[in-house]
Amino acid sequence: MDRRAFLARSLGLGCSLAASPLVTPVTFAATPGEGRLIVLILRGGMDGLGALPAYGDPEFASLRGALPLGEAVEDYADLDGFFAMHPALRPVLPWWQEGHLAFVQAVSTPYRDKRSHFDGQDILEAGIADLSAGLSRDGWLNRLLQHLPDTGTETAYAVGNDPLSILSGDAPVARWSPDTDLALSPQAIRLAELVMQEDPAMSAALREAFSLAGSDGDALSFDGARGDMMAMVRQDMMASLRNQNHVKLAEFVAKRLRGDARIASFSLNGWDTHQAQDRGLGRALTGLAETLVTLRDTLGGPVWKTTAVVAMTEFGRTVRLNGTRGTDHGTGGAMLLAGGALRGGQVFGDWPGLSEVALYDRRDLLPTRDLRAHAGWLMQGLFGIDRGLIEREVFPGLDLGEDPRLLA
Amino acid sequence: MRFDPILADMRFGCGLSPDIAPPESVDAMLRGLAQPDAMADAFPIERFDTFLGRMQRRVELSQIRRKNRGTELAATARKDSKLLNKAARQDALGWMAAHIARRVKSTTPLRERLEFFWADHFTATGKRGVIRRATSPYMESAIRPNLNGRFEDLLIAAVTHPVMVHYLDQQTSVGPNSVMAQRRPGKVGMNENLAREVLELHTLGVDGPYTQTDVRELAELLTGLTINFNTGRQFRKPMAEPGAETVLGKSYGGDNPGLRDIEAVLRDLARHPATARHMAGKLAVHFVSDTPEPALVDALEAAWRDSDGDLPLVYAALLNHPAAWETTRPNVKQPFDFVTSACRALAVSPERLLSRDPRALNLWLYAPLRLMGHVWQKPEGPDGLQEADSAWITPQGMAARVQWAMTVPGPLRKGLPDPRDFVETALGPRANDTIRFAAAAAETRQDGIGVVLISPAFQRM
């Protein structure tokens, strides 16, 4: 076969989905219902009291200063006369009225005292009570997946270039980072397929990569000059290092959830606000708001209706500001919930108060409930799985307690 | 199947090189391991005793900050502390480049592969502060000098190393009846983290004959093992649980606890038959196939038991076994093996690599490795990288390899070779007509080099 003949008979770029063994028709047929769960991991420890200030608490002003409440863009939005919302979250404020946005206050994992990101995130993603038995090797979303009926290889997506141990485990999970963006010349694509042919496993993975890369917004095939292509790859690499690709991740996730996927997780970084937190927290919350808006816009109405997004973090931060106008690692924090499936427009959770005696260790918000309980009730409602199963398998040993009725 | 020099380089080395001949025999490979470590001299990586200086300096700076809050002195110390972290971060990228340079230039590439195998078996990394950058110094000090001796010495060096002690929280583990626990009741206590991993990961294996009681007793025996920022490894008696502990039916320690008790239990665990079985399987899976011939595993186990874990004899058993040269179920290269064997085949200049600024190393090596699924020196857990090929042959993993192969070789070296020649250099007798055709049909050199590197013949070992 000479080069001309090869090019002449090549089939072009469209990698037929049906031809890929990783994307079998069975996968397409198999979906565990219509509920969708997106778990956002906020790495670094979100300051719950900064995102959702309890301005109605008598101690609040002495701890954090007076809050500018109002209607302007730079103002905090009053939610219920007690809690306000950070101005950076204003883009999702209308959702509060619709009942598509909610918060849970004063929650945490069972992690206490050491206040290490590393261990805290490990416990958060493992969904276990402590690390005395060593670091975990599987995550709670994977354990959930193992007990969902009719799952396929694309039911759950771990997205981004983060290991996301929340989805690690025995159940198959699709992993993709849209910033792996492939930008190849059309011919390189054909030649890559050609040389991979002799290895079915690699060939299948490559074909799925091509179809995924082509579906995430920008085209796989790159016709521009070589130098432009290099620049694009460089840009993608740098973006992936800086983690500024949250909109891209959200778009990708939403597209998957419009199809067969039902569970997805990705991380947002930048929450470790030890200093000048006005700026840092605002930036991180802006990213979160953009992520949520992108998810909703891309999912579209009907799918949004069956979706719940939960944003959780490894721990809250100190209730007092520190000497550099930031906050240090704390304990109790807040969780954000969004989605059309929610019974939103309210702040869930028991408020422990901010007086000195009410604090944990006299410095942190006291957690009044395990955040796994809320995650558990969400899963129970979205996927109709048995409470006992969640308490035994997904969060071993957890008592889910009373149903907070998070879903509409 | 018997010894084959090409396969020796691909499977037990760092891939084919246009400049360095493959080994002549199994004996030559084993002799190479016993020779002086020329690569460590040529491309140095900081040893941990030197790295400790960075940790000491960091402690000094935080003390200055604490004692002088709000003053100019504290502000300067804070800045210095940031610079110290930044320097370590950049140096760590340089050490990654040095690891690659060694793989490009080594005439004893089996040493490089064994170093990474054992560093992964004894996965450890820093969790907070400057010690996060200490992984390569840990490898250089604990793993590399001990990979061709007795397993028990390697085990002791790794398990009692400050990076491991820190990684698995041993330095805060205090015996419940220790002097320190009596002095500060309710404030200090013991954890089982390191003890469990020693039994489960480092020695007997998860199916090994140990119970929760053994974990607990070993945890008590390990109390006292901690870190000293000036000297490294340290045993502090006030932290140690008094009295003897029984691990796997044998009593260790007594009224005068010390490191020797910990060394004694580690030596026994290293020689335990379950450890022989566990490690035989792990070596065969790592170097040969996800599903190795049972006869190969049996042979490795026997060599281990007969020699009480004398590693050169175990390696000899591996390389002399016909099943080690089977080509029916070859492994897929892990990302670092993939990237470094490409660098070796391309004869990337070490000088050029080592003179690259951290940004370039980030862009061309660290970030792509991460996209391939290997977050360099940030393990997901103490069990290290996955061995199963399926963990690496993912859509994202393959995409990252393809994109890397088609774009990064260009910037990594001055001028790319002719793809038609490169097929033969990189693949030797594994080159086939499809790959030759694809290399020649590519529109650019970059694409041509790329298709060779992503061919299954190159990606499998």
CB proximity list for B318: less than 8 A, separation 6 or greater:
B283, B284, B287, B296, B299, B300, B324
Question: Which chain A residue has the Cα nearest residue B194?
Answer: A134
- Mean pLDDT of chain B, nearest integer: 95
pLDDT-based confidence at A44, cuts 50/70/90?
A: confident
Helices assigned H by DSSP within B395-444: 395-407, 409-412, 419-427, 433-441
Residue A27 has pLDDT above 50, yes or no: no
A230 interface with B at CB cutoff 8 Å: yes
Compute CA distances B23 → A7, A166, B3, whole Å. 41, 44, 10
A212 interface with B at CB cutoff 8 Å: yes
Min Cα separation B439/chain A (Å): 8
Residues in A 149-188 with any Cβ partner in B closer than 8 A: 161, 163, 165, 168, 174-177, 179-185, 187-188
- Using CB atoms within 10 A of its CB, is residue B86 exposed (0-12), middle (13-18) or buried (19+)? exposed
**Which tokens belong to A360?**
């944990």
Identify whether the C-beta of residue B331 lies closer than 8 Å to the C-beta of residue B290: yes
Identify whether the C-beta of residue B438 lies closer than 8 Å to the C-beta of residue B453: no
Residue B109 has pLDDT above 70, yes or no: yes
Query: Residue B447 is nearest to which of A119, A185, A238, comparing CB atoms?
Result: A185
Residue A404 has pLDDT above 90, yes or no: yes
Chain A CB contacts of B436 below 8 Å:
none
Query: Residue A134 is nearest to which of B128, B382, B456, comparing CB atoms?
Result: B382
Identity of the amino acid at A383? F
Q: Taking chain A, what is the end-to-end CA distance rounded to the nearest angstrom?
A: 62
Identity of the amino acid at B138? Y
Share of chain B above pLDDT 90, in %: 84
Q: Is A54 helix (H, G, I), strand (E, B) or coil?
A: coil
Compute CA distances A283 → A265, A290, B232, whole Å. 21, 11, 40
- Using CB atoms within 10 A of its CB, is residue A388 exposed (0-12), middle (13-18) or buried (19+)? exposed
Residues in A 4-33 with any Cβ partner in B closer than 8 A: 6-7, 22
Residue A14 has pLDDT above 80, yes or no: no
Nearest Cα to Cα of residue A172 among B367, B238, B390: B390
Q: Is A86 helix (H, G, I), strand (E, B) or coil?
A: coil
Which string of b and e fits A253-281 if b means at least 16 CB within 10 Å?
A: bbbbbeebbbbbbbbbbbbbbbbebeebb
* HEC profile of A106-139: EEECCCCCCCCHHHHHHHHHHCCCCCCCCCCCCC
Min Cα separation A34/chain B (Å): 26
Q: How many residues does chain A have?
A: 408
Cβ distance A134 to B127 less than 8 Å, yes or no, reads: no
**Which tokens belong to A286?**
């802006």
CB proximity list for A189: less than 8 A, separation 6 or greater:
A13, A210, A220, A221
Residue B6 has pLDDT above 70, yes or no: yes
Cβ distance B381 to A136 less than 8 Å, yes or no, reads: yes
Distance CA B244, CA B76 (A): 49
Chain A CB contacts of B168 below 8 Å:
134
pLDDT of residue A123: 93
A366-370, B251-255, B261-265, B269-273: segment of lowest average pLDDT: B251-255
Q: What angle do CA A392, A395, A398 make, to 5 degrees?
A: 80
pLDDT of residue B426: 98
**Which tokens belong to A279?**
């700026």
Chain B CB contacts of A1 below 8 Å:
437
Chain B CB contacts of A161 below 8 Å:
370-371, 375
Rounded to two decimals, what is the model's pTM? 0.76
Query: Residue A202 is nearest to which of B69, B393, B407, comparing CB atoms?
Result: B393
Residue A10 has pLDDT above 50, yes or no: no
**Hey, how many other C-beta atoms are within 10 angstroms of the C-beta on B207?**
10
Cβ distance A205 to B400 less than 8 Å, yes or no, reads: no
Nearest Cα to Cα of residue A148 among A172, A176, A129: A172
Distance CA A287, CA A292 (A): 9
pLDDT of residue A117: 73
Chain A CB contacts of B450 below 8 Å:
188, 192
User: Mind listing the pLDDT tens digit for each residue in A207-224?
Assistant: 888 887 775 555 566 666
pLDDT-based confidence at A16, cuts 50/70/90?
A: very low
Residue A283 has pLDDT above 50, yes or no: yes
Residues forming a β-bridge with B332:
B460
Identify whether the C-beta of residue A156 lies closer than 8 Å to the C-beta of residue A261: yes
Q: Which residue out of A9, A161, A228, A248 would a mutagenesis test of the B interface target, given it has the greatest number of B Cβ atoms within 10 Å?
A: A161
User: Mind listing the pLDDT tens digit for each residue in A106-126?
Assistant: 999 999 977 777 788 889 999
Give the pairing type, strands A36-42 and A263-268: parallel
Nearest Cα to Cα of residue B286 among B121, B56, B43, B173: B121
Q: What is the ipTM of this complex?
A: 0.91
Count of A-B CB contacts under 8 Å: 159
A129 interface with B at CB cutoff 8 Å: no
